[in-house]
Structure 1
Amino acid sequence: MKKHIIYILGLMLAVSACQKGEISSLNTPTVTGILTNPSKSDLFNLVTGTESGMRNSLSAYFDGVSVIGRESYRFSGSEPRWTTDILGGGSKKLDNNTFYLTNPWNARYQVIRQCFILLDALKTTRNEVANDAQKKAFSGLAKTLIGYQLLLNLNMTDSNGVRIPVPDKAPQGGIIKDPGQVLDSITRFLNDGKTDLTGAEVIFPLSDGFAGFKDAAGLLKFNRAIAARVYTYRKNWAAALTALNESFFDLNGSFTLGINHAFSTNGGDLINPMFLPLNSTGEIRVAHPSFAADINPLDNRILKTALRSATASQSGLSGTRDITVWPTLSSPISIIRNEELVLIYAEAKIQLGQFPDALVAINRIRTGHNLAAYSGPSTQAALITEMLTQRRFSLFMEGHRWIDLRRYGLLGTLPIDRPDDDVWPRYPIPQSETNE
């Protein structure tokens, strides 16, 4: 990916979207050249730039949702807001105009804008550059990524709203505060992407984060995996199961199979922004104490953390276990993987009252992590609790726990670590979005 970085950075600056999704300038030579009779190299670079851009501000996103969801603490000598605003320390509130919201929010809309540029460029792409089937692969990926990026912003602001992205020069709508309406829009982007990817031909390069999924069939499975997550959020359990069957879901497959953000230490590329050395003393990311306290002593998912040589503390909080989900600067960050799909299958089956099928999936997770088969009550309430417990430990630090507990109305079960702390249900809408 590194050979495209200089080009990508220039392009991203030229087309950088603000929160409402506008391109700051459509008259730059770079953008004009791409939108009119683009070359194959232009299209390839747009795809590479889009994939690269998805990695921007991931640490702000994951740290934010994980700290609010009491999966972790983020201690920083230079940034106290991880232990004040994010946890509601004292009289602190979430700020609608600061880095932990605006950086990831803007980054997601920048990627969406780049996807729309790709879609516009395809309208004037000559057949000798890409035939119809090949154009469909470009557009199918772009629409899939628009849906996925919008979902991440909805995860943050929920009923405080997002803007539905639109093509350039189309009328910009207002903030949509109904999460169901936003999920409907996300579903349409994903379904349009599915239609385009069906029978398409991929000619563009993707990083090794898409290893095993770089052709049209693989990208279609990726699209359907994200759709299964969205249908789960929509409580459309039958549709979630249908999407799973069209994805790479494998009840007996590897938990780690899936699509990732790729990183490397190669010059010009990005390193994993979530990596911190063990036993750090300046910038520290530790597991919330409840992680080790609540996990079964036999559960091998405890290895997602490691005991520190000395307790880390800041602002009346402390942690004894570093997070080891990303052990190196080149470790991938998961976008979606099979273990989540197995748990989506379990959740859908529980909600549909198909408990034997749900238990097969739950026990696949349990035995895959050194635990005995489930022996509790086979009631919907008990199985939901068990499913959420397995999601907690299996998807630790992958951006799910806060959202899962919000989906089930269980945010009040999260621990309050200091008397004046809060568990925020959602981020505010960014200030710039209210400046009409």
Structure 2
Amino acid sequence: MKSIHKKINTLFVVAIALSLALTSCSFDEQVDPNRPSLEGVLTGASVNQLNNLVVGVEATMRNGLGIQTTGSGTMARELYLFDADPRNTGDLLGADGATLDNNSFYSTAPWAGRYRAIKNANILLESVANTDAITDAQRSGYSGFAKTIIAHELIDVLKSYGRARIDVSDPDNLGPILEFDAALTAIRSLLDEALTDLNAAGGDFAFDLGGFAGFDSPSTFVEFNRAIAAVAALYASDFSGTMTALNASFLDLNGELTVGPKHVFSLGAGDITNDLFKITDNNGDQIIVHNSWINDAEAGDTRVTNKTSVRANATTQDGLTGSNQTELYETNVSPIDIIRNEELILIYAEAKIGMGSATDLTDAASALNVIRNAAGLGDTAAATAEDLTTEMLNQRRYSLWAENHRMFDLRRYNLSNTLPIDRAGDQIFNVFPTPLTENE
């Protein structure tokens, strides 16, 4: 195990160096063996170069993740980020009539992070198409991986921004920014292309993955691909399509809730740590739980005590007060879930509610009871589609707290206006502004 982690950490360092080379505006003719040129990767790449690109893709999936999560979480009244930047408690809550800035860190960093990973994945796609160093089956494996990651990142863009630029393979000829429905259709098509590639990839990948333990072969990575396809189908209100994708995913109604691929971190040179980890009772940089999340919880819900803790002393900043803080991550190298079985069970319940037959609603209630029982709660009394929808959204609220879901869940159900107003003059926002540099 130690040797595997050492190898992954080393690859992350190499990948970061490669990523820096790939993002440079110009390239010297001199060849640096430690930092390969873009041209050297795009044409005739070796297996080692391709594998470094894979690690670079996985590494850059983490870029801007903390800002995206705390930004959406603040707007959805899940949390406050108490730190030195007043925009976290001002702009994001619409203090005194403020509007969101399309050129501020909370609007630019998530977009840049997602598209950095997409850029690296597109470079990988071009590289595997222009090398003779791999077999056709291996080529399919690289392509299926890259397309699946692109689709995942684009879904994250849609959740935060409500629109996305899909065609970015040629930086000199970018495609248009598409609105939600059109973008989602393109993403679903890309996931199906990736599935075809993965099914043609044979028994093993030619590369290692850091955070995909248990999903690191073509046949098991397909389960991740179909999990993301289920998310996309659900967001398109295609409930039968959701169920079809779930049936090919790693959904297990009787399985461990925590199973699933993860973003991994380390203290290795050149790598990064989990910036959603906060030191208990820290006063200068802390994620404070929104009081409504504590007050609205059912008595005995273990997610409250497992994910948060009561501070030794309540803290106040910018007219906002909280007595609870995050305990979501144990250390600064704790992994962050990309998607896990718990979310898939909730997706299953939502799709069953959407399908709407009496049997479907019973299935939905049973799935929600799996989540409730795991949190120390008894079975739900909800039986109608309306009541089960309320129950489902509540279980998503507590199971997926501070994981970049709540803002979008409220927006897609037209419930953003039900959020509490923390201070007189505050406003409700439910979508990040498209960055100024992307305006067409």
- Asked if TM exceeds 0.5, the reply is yes
Asked if residue 401 in structure 1 is aligned to residue 406 in structure 2, the reply is yes
Asked if residue 53 in structure 1 is aligned to residue 54 in structure 2, the reply is no
**Secondary structure of 1:90's aligned partner:** helix
Across the two proteins, how many residue pairs are aligned to each other? 421
Q: For the Cα contact (< 8 Å) 1:15–1:113, is it kept in 2?
A: no
Q: For the Cα contact (< 8 Å) 2:129–2:139, is it kept in 1?
A: no
Question: Deviating runs (4+, > 3 A) in structure 1?
Answer: 23-29
Task: Summarize deviations over 1:64-83 as a string: whole Å, max 9, x none.
Answer: 1111111101011x211000
**Secondary structure of 2:96's aligned partner:** coil
Structure 2 residue aligned with 1:67: 74
| C-alpha distance in structure 2 between counterparts of 1:27 and 1:210, whole Å | 36
Aligned-pair RMSD on alpha carbons? 1.5
| C-alpha distance in structure 1 between counterparts of 2:312 and 2:181, whole Å | 46
Structure 1 residue aligned with 2:5: none
| C-alpha distance in structure 2 between counterparts of 1:425 and 1:91, whole Å | 15
Q: For the Cα contact (< 8 Å) 2:97–2:427, is it kept in 1?
A: no
C-alpha displacement of 1:116: 0.8
Structure 2 residue aligned with 1:332: 335
Question: Quick one: structure 1 residues 103 and 169, their matched pair in 2 at CA, closer, same or farther if it must change by over 3 Å?
Answer: closer
**Secondary structure of 2:244's aligned partner:** helix
| C-alpha distance in structure 2 between counterparts of 1:45 and 1:267, whole Å | 16
Structure 1 residue aligned with 2:34: none
Structure 2 residue aligned with 1:19: none
**Mean Cα displacement is larger for which, 338-347 or 87-96?**
87-96
**Secondary structure of 2:245's aligned partner:** helix
| C-alpha distance in structure 2 between counterparts of 1:432 and 1:305, whole Å | 37
Q: For the Cα contact (< 8 Å) 1:154–1:179, is it kept in 2?
A: yes
**What runs of 5+ residues in structure 1 fail to find an aligned partner?**
17-22
**Secondary structure of 1:307's aligned partner:** strand
| C-alpha distance in structure 2 between counterparts of 1:250 and 1:7, whole Å | 36
Pick aligned residue for 1:411 from 393, 416, 421: 416
Q: For the Cα contact (< 8 Å) 1:222–1:248, is it kept in 2?
A: yes
Pick aligned residue for 1:84 from 68, 81, 90: 90
Return the TM-score normalized by structure 1: 0.94
Task: Summarize deviations over 1:39-75 as a string: whole Å, max 9, x none.
Answer: 1100000000110111111111101111111110101
| C-alpha distance in structure 2 between counterparts of 1:140 and 1:170, whole Å | 25
Asked if residue 195 in structure 1 is aligned to residue 213 in structure 2, the reply is no
Q: For the Cα contact (< 8 Å) 1:46–1:118, is it kept in 2?
A: yes
| C-alpha distance in structure 1 between counterparts of 2:230 and 2:172, whole Å | 29
Q: For the Cα contact (< 8 Å) 1:26–1:32, is it kept in 2?
A: no
| C-alpha distance in structure 1 between counterparts of 2:395 and 2:348, whole Å | 13
**Secondary structure of 2:92's aligned partner:** coil
Q: For the Cα contact (< 8 Å) 2:57–2:117, is it kept in 1?
A: yes
Q: For the Cα contact (< 8 Å) 2:45–2:131, is it kept in 1?
A: yes
C-alpha displacement of 1:170: 7.5
Structure 1 residue aligned with 2:157: 153
| C-alpha distance in structure 2 between counterparts of 1:289 and 1:157, whole Å | 26
Question: Quick one: structure 1 residues 26 and 164, their matched pair in 2 at CA, closer, same or farther if it must change by over 3 Å?
Answer: farther
Pick aligned residue for 1:267 from 245, 259, 269: 269
Identity %: 41
C-alpha displacement of 1:27: 7.5
Pick aligned residue for 2:315 from 301, 312, 316: 312
**Secondary structure of 2:114's aligned partner:** helix
Structure 2 residue aligned with 1:144: 148
Pick aligned residue for 1:38 from 17, 27, 45: 45
Q: For the Cα contact (< 8 Å) 1:15–1:25, is it kept in 2?
A: no
Question: Which amino acid letter does the alignment assign opposite residue 331 of structure 1?
Answer: S
Map 1:118-197 onto structure 2 (within 5 A).
118-126=124-132, 129-158=133-162, 161-168=163-170, 171-176=173-178, 178-197=179-198
Pick aligned residue for 2:324 from 307, 321, 325: 321
Task: Summarize deviations over 1:376-428 as a string: whole Å, max 9, x none.
Answer: 3x111111000101111011111111111111100011111111111112111
Structure 1 residue aligned with 2:278: 276
Task: Summarize deviations over 1:79-127 as a string: whole Å, max 9, x none.
Answer: 110000011011321110011111111111111111111111112221x
**Secondary structure of 1:210's aligned partner:** coil
